[in-house]
Amino acid sequence: MIPAPFDYVRAESTEEAIALVGQHGDESKFIAGGHSLLPLMKLRLAQPSVLIDIGRVTDLSYVRDAGDHVAIGALTRHMDVETSEVLREHAPLLAHATSHVGDPQVRHRGTIGGSIAHADPASDLPAVALALGATYVAQGPNGTREIAAADFATSYLESALADDELLTEIRVPKMNGAGWGFEKFNRRAQDWAIVGVAAWRRNGDAGVALVNMGSTPVLATGVVSALADGASVADAAQLAADGTDPQPDLNASIEYRQHLARALTKRALDIASS
Amino acid sequence: MNVTLTINGTAHTYDLEPRTLLVQLIREHAGLTGTNIGCDTSSCGACSVHLDGEAVKSCTLLAVQADGADVTTIEGMASADGTMHPVQQAFMDEHGLQCGFCTPGMVMAASSLLAENPSPTDEDVRIGLEGNLCRCTGYHNIVKAVLTASGADQ
Ligand SMILES: Cc1cc2nc3c(=O)[nH]c(=O)nc-3n(C[C@H](O)[C@H](O)[C@H](O)COP(=O)(O)OP(=O)(O)OC[C@H]3O[C@@H](n4cnc5c(N)ncnc54)[C@H](O)[C@@H]3O)c2cc1C
Ligand code: FES
Ligand code: FES
């Protein structure tokens, strides 16, 4: 399978990427690792007329301790997130979840920014970032702005990023010793989650987000407020599927997905609480 | 557009359409047909090659993305005198293949795994090769071969 024809341009820096998208308009698309975009282009589900390759914008590949948070450049590859000592220490939930994305070959190419920007509710990292209360930094022709993870995904594969904006940084609050759990349910190694849950707890605080339980990643707010009110993990987890709108597919019915959300939330919280 | 890259130590330049996949460059332009296409959807790993030393799936990479890169395919694993790479030798010694279709991709993924983790456990190998499917062996001898190549006592 071969993508439809397109023109290819390469950006060497953030500024050049933004200038190029300004020049080529909304028929163009950024390509980072290409591990979400190319499969769609090969199936001709995406047919951009111009690809702007940002894969070599190396100034956006970094993991930095930034005081109360860890700053991750959007072009940082999954393998570098997974193995980052800074993230293993300060945001172990993200480092661990990243090690469950696809397989090593995928993680050698795919980037955290591509994963977030693609806004696929079945992806692991958008839900993890949501659970952790991450902030995204976007840069466009008019400058830089911050977008809260909770305001980012708008619908299936749609986000608050404008067409001419580049996602440049992911800011993940330090977990400060919080307990955490990541439960990804799939039937074969390497597969996407049928349902996934990312959870953390620290003293009275908690965060829980769900993978593949609707058209966007979902915050399990009912679970978190029940925990804050002193409910047991088992009781709070019963609320995990409330208000969710998952799609049925070959792998799972709506009811089964909702069952999984409750069961996996309990498991993730049990681990986070132990 | 022009794509210049090194394959198995030799520099090549090709004039290609941007939509050309790396696996097409390798098989059709460079004529190196050891790299197989199994699924063409980044699921099976048969097309795995090394890009700057790391295993990647060449069906899910544009040739232009590899411009300037150093690519190694299965043909580049043995030494010039024909001595097999330790991973290849171990696949032979441990009967890590039957039909052999998955083998080039398995060898490239396994050697990349060993470069990142020189002393893997049985489980590390199984998880590390999760992106490579084999329809013949049942994986046991593949795992054995990778452990043998790592020098692990079994
Ligand atoms: C076989 C396979 C298995 C996988 N399994 C999983 C899995 O289990 N879990 C999971 O979460 N993911 C999985 N993935 C997806 C993987 O994580 C991708 O790497 C990731 O979703 C996209 O990152 P990328 O860098 O490849 O983005 P690309 O494919 O290059 O881009 C994706 C989209 O985001 C846009 N984009 C990219 N970067 C930016 C940016 N900085 N600013 C603005 N827009 C941008 C592009 O224009 C495009 O629309 C899998 C992929 C494959 C091929
Ligand atoms: S052919 Fe590339 S992964 Fe199957
Ligand atoms: S040996 Fe036949 S597919 Fe692996």
**Residues of A whose CB is below 8 A from B21:** 2
Write out pLDDT tens, residues B75-96: 999 999 999 999 999 999 999 9
In this prediction the pTM is 0.97
Query: Is the Cβ–Cβ distance between A266 and A178 less than 8 Å?
Result: no
Write out pLDDT tens, residues A18-49: 999 999 988 999 999 999 999 999 999 999 99
What pLDDT, on the 0 to 100 scale, is given for residue B151? 87
Domain assignment of residue B63, yes or no = yes
Tokens 């330790």, residue located: B86
Q: In degrees, to the nearest 5, what angle opens at C-alpha A168 toward C-alphas A174 and A138? A: 100
Rounded to a whole number of angstroms, the distance between the first and last alpha carbons of chain A is 48
* Percentage of chain B modeled with pLDDT above 90: 97
Please give the radius of gyration of chain B, using alpha carbons only, rounded to the nearest integer: 15
Whether B154 shows a pLDDT value over 60: the answer reads: no
Interface mutation vs chain B, best among A45, A105, A188, most B CBs within 10 Å: A105
Q: Using CA coordinates, name the residue in chain B closest to A191.
A: B43
Tokens 């978190």, residue located: A224
Using pLDDT thresholds of 50, 70 and 90, give the confidence band for residue B153.
low
Contact call for A108 and B56, based on CB within 8 A: yes
CATH number at residue B31: 3.10.20.30
What pLDDT, on the 0 to 100 scale, is given for residue B13? 98
**Closest CA relative to residue A136, chosen from A164, A157, A166, A167:** A167
Using pLDDT thresholds of 50, 70 and 90, give the confidence band for residue A93.
very high
Asked if B126 and B67 sit in the same domain, the reply is no
Q: What 3-state class would DSSP assign to B7?
A: strand
Whether A261 shows a pLDDT value over 60: the answer reads: yes
**Bridge partners of A264?**
none
CATH number at residue B107: 1.10.150.120
Return the residue whose CA atom lies nearest to atom 3 of ligand 2. Answer: B42
Domain assignment of residue B134, yes or no = yes
Q: What 3-state class would DSSP assign to A7?
A: strand
Query: Is the Cβ–Cβ distance between A210 and A220 less than 8 Å?
Result: yes
Q: Pick from B50, B76, B102: which residue ends a domain?
A: B76
Domain assignment of residue B81, yes or no = no
The CA distance from A222 to B114, in Å, is 45
Using pLDDT thresholds of 50, 70 and 90, give the confidence band for residue A176.
very high
Name residues whose C-beta falls within 8 Å of residue A75's C-beta, 6 or more positions apart in sequence: A32, A54, A55, A57, A58, A60, A61, A111, A113
Q: What is the DSSP letter of A68?
A: S
Contact call for B130 and A4, based on CB within 8 A: no
Mean pLDDT, range B88-107, rounded to an integer: 98
Asked if B57 and B90 sit in the same domain, the reply is no
Q: Are strands A166-173 and A69-73 parallel, antiparallel or unpaired?
A: antiparallel
Q: Pick from B54, B76, B98: which residue ends a domain?
A: B76
**Closest CA relative to residue A149, chosen from A124, A163, A164, A131:** A131
Asked if B36 and B90 sit in the same domain, the reply is no
Contact call for B60 and A8, based on CB within 8 A: no
Q: Tell me which of B60, B62, B64, B130 to substitute to probe ligand 1's pocket, judged by most ligand atoms within 8 Å of the beta carbon.
A: B60
Q: Flag whether the ipTM exceeds 0.90.
A: yes
Domain ranges of chain A: 7-53, 58-173, 182-273
* Percentage of chain A modeled with pLDDT above 90: 96
Domain assignment of residue B10, yes or no = yes
Q: What 3-state class would DSSP assign to A67?
A: coil
Q: Pick from B49, B76, B103: which residue ends a domain?
A: B76
What is the CATH code of the structural domain delimited by A182-273?
3.30.390.50
Write out pLDDT tens, residues B18-48: 999 999 999 999 999 999 999 999 999 999 9
- Amino acid sitting at position B60: T
Residue among B24, B55, B64 whose CB faces A105 most closely: B55
Domain assignment of residue B119, yes or no = yes
Write out pLDDT tens, residues A196-227: 999 999 998 999 999 999 999 999 999 999 99
Asked if B6 and B71 sit in the same domain, the reply is yes
Q: What 3-state class would DSSP assign to A209?
A: strand
Asked if B15 and B58 sit in the same domain, the reply is yes
Does any CB of chain B come closer than 8 Å to the CB of residue A9? no
Give A 51-110 residues with CB within 8 A of chain B: 51, 53, 55, 79, 102-106, 108-109
Number of domains, chain B: 2
Domain housing B45:
2-76
**CB A192 less than 6 A from any atom of ligand 1:** yes
Query: Is the Cβ–Cβ distance between B57 and B45 less than 8 Å?
Result: yes
Asked if B61 and B93 sit in the same domain, the reply is no
Write out pLDDT tens, residues B121-149: 999 999 999 999 999 999 999 999 999 99
Cβ neighbours, 10 Å, residue A151? 12
CATH class in words for A7-53: alpha beta
Q: Tell me which of B21, B47, B101, B133 to substitute to probe ligand 2's pocket, judged by most ligand atoms within 8 Å of the beta carbon.
A: B47
CATH topology of domain A58-173: 3.30.465
Asked if B48 and B68 sit in the same domain, the reply is yes
- Amino acid sitting at position A228: A
Residue among A1, A51, A102 whose CB faces B18 most closely: A51
* Helix, strand, coil content of chain A in percent (nearest 5): 35, 25, 40
Query: Which residues line ligand 3 at a C-beta cut-off of 6 Å?
Result: B 97-102, 134-137
